[in-house]
């Protein structure tokens, strides 16, 4: 479409150039033949090279109009003057054509701008659609939960007993977390040391899972406090496609957890962008900063709305 309008613009510009060239040529011809005619009248001719052109123009005019001009009783050949008048009219007409062609170019420029904007909007819409389709492929999400317990008993007399107590409490915490996570419908849970990997389908359920997870962590925290211990959790979340390599997803989550942001749920831009496509959201994403994950990635914290 744009090529057609650009071709039209070139055509009108060519017409302008042709008209301008004709005007210049006519100006030169008028000047030379008129000067030659005037010098011939006063018998001072030094533009002999113009004589063939002047004779040709004079003969051409006399074909259509042959009359002598009488000035002071002297009859003169007025063909050159008549040519000058006609040529000046042609030059004036060329100026009008020039203005008309310029208006056509202006109209075409307006059309080109509109078509270009329409094509740009269409291109951007296609990019947005492709981007949304790509993001919506991340229909699953994975959560990595890491925790550690710390005994807050300050008396050294209880140190040995405190160690035993902490080990027993960690086993209890492991069982409670694993049991609670395994109750989530359609989700798979795997345990490695003090880490739990949760794999869930249906990204639209992410708010419910996160709310459930936060409530669970609060319950576990309250449970360990009764034994004079503190619970510190590190949680990361990442979306992934059905055919994604879970090992790569786990590696990314592990790097996020290694940032050691206690009590926060952190994610990369991939989750933040995918999360924005949900119609209703119970959480907001807050930019934490740029960290070295793979190369240089922005890390976001997921915070529940008030």
- The DSSP bridge partners found for residue 25 are none
Of 102, 132, 162, which residue is a domain's last? 132
How many domains, in total, are found in the chain? 2
pLDDT value for 76: 56
Q: Is residue 217 helix, strand or coil?
A: helix
208 and 65 in a common domain = no
Sheet holding 229-240, edge to edge: 188-192, 195-200, 140-151, 229-240, 265-268, 297-304, 283-291
Within 192-259, where are the H helices? 206-225, 246-257
- Are 108 and 12 found together in one domain? yes
Which tens digits make up the pLDDT trace of 5-30?
Answer: 788 888 888 888 888 888 888 888 87
Tell me, what DSSP letter sits at residue 260? -
- 260 and 278 share one domain: yes
The domain of 262 spans 137-304
Q: Which of 97, 132, 167 is the last residue before a domain boundary? A: 132
Note whether 93 and 196 are same-domain residues.
no
Q: 178 near 192, Cβ under 8 Å?
A: no
Compute and round to an integer the Cα radius of gyration of the chain.
Answer: 44
User: What pLDDT does 206 receive?
Assistant: 93
Rounded CA separation 216/45 (Å): 113
Co-location of 98 and 227 in the same domain: no
| Same structural domain, 98 and 148 | no
Last residue within a domain, chosen from 132, 160, 188: 132
Residues 87 and 176 in one domain: no
Do both 117 and 222 map to the same domain? no
H-run or E-run covering 233: strand 229-240
Residues of the chain with pLDDT under 50: 72-75, 155-159, 161
Q: How far is CA 105 from CA 5, 6, 96, 116, in A?
A: 10, 10, 14, 16
Within this chain, do residues 22 and 105 fall inside the same structural domain, yes or no? yes
Same-domain status, 81 and 172: no
CATH number at residue 248: 3.30.70.1230
Q: Give the CA distances from residue 57 to residues 22, 37, 79, 85, 86, in Å, rounded to whole numbers and listed in that order.
A: 16, 11, 8, 13, 12
Mark whether 116 and 228 lie in a shared domain.
Answer: no
Residue in the block written with tokens 């990442």: 238
Unique residue bearing structure tokens 């203005």: 99
pLDDT in tens, 73-132: 444 566 767 777 777 888 888 888 888 888 888 888 888 888 888 888 887 787 767 767
Residue 141 to residue 244: CA distance in whole angstroms: 11
Write down the pLDDT at residue 200.
Answer: 93
- For helices 2-41 and 51-64, the axis angle rounded to 10 degrees is 100
Same domain for 49 and 146?
no
């Amino acid at each position: 479409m744009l090529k057609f309008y650009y071709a039209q613009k070139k055509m009108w510009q060519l017409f302008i150039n042709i008209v301008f060239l004709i005007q210049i040529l006519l100006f030169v011809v008028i000047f030379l033949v008129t000067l030659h005619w005037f010098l011939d009248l006063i018998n001072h001719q030094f533009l002999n090279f113009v004589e063939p052109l002047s004779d040709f123009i004079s003969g051409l005019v006399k074909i259509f109009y042959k009359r002598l001009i009488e000035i002071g009783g002297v009859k003169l050949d007025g063909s050159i003057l008549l040519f000058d008048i006609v040529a000046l009219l042609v030059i004036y007409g060329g100026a009008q054509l020039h203005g008309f062609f310029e208006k056509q170019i202006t109209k075409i420029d307006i059309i080109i701008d509109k078509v270009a904007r329409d094509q740009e909007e269409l291109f951007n819409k296609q990019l947005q659609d492709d981007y949304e389709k790509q993001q919506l492929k991340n229909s699953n999400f994975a959560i990595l939960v890491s925790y550690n317990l710390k005994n807050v008993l300050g008396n050294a007399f209880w140190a040995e007993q405190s160690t035993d107590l902490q080990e027993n409490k960690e086993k209890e915490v492991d069982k409670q977390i694993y049991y609670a996570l395994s109750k989530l419908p359609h989700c798979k849970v795997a345990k490695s040391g003090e880490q739990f990997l949760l794999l869930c389908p249906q990204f639209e359920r992410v708010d419910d899972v996160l709310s459930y997870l936060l409530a669970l962590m609060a319950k576990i925290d309250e449970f360990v406090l009764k034994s004079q211990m503190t619970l510190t959790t590190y949680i990361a979340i990442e979306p992934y496609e059905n055919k994604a390599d879970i090992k790569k997803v786990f590696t990314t989550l592990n790097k996020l957890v290694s940032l050691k942001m206690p009590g926060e749920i952190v994610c990369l831009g991939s989750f933040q962008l995918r999360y924005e496509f949900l119609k209703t959201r119970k959480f907001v994403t807050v930019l934490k900063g740029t960290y070295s994950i793979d190369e240089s990635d922005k890390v976001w914290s997921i915070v529940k709305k008030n």
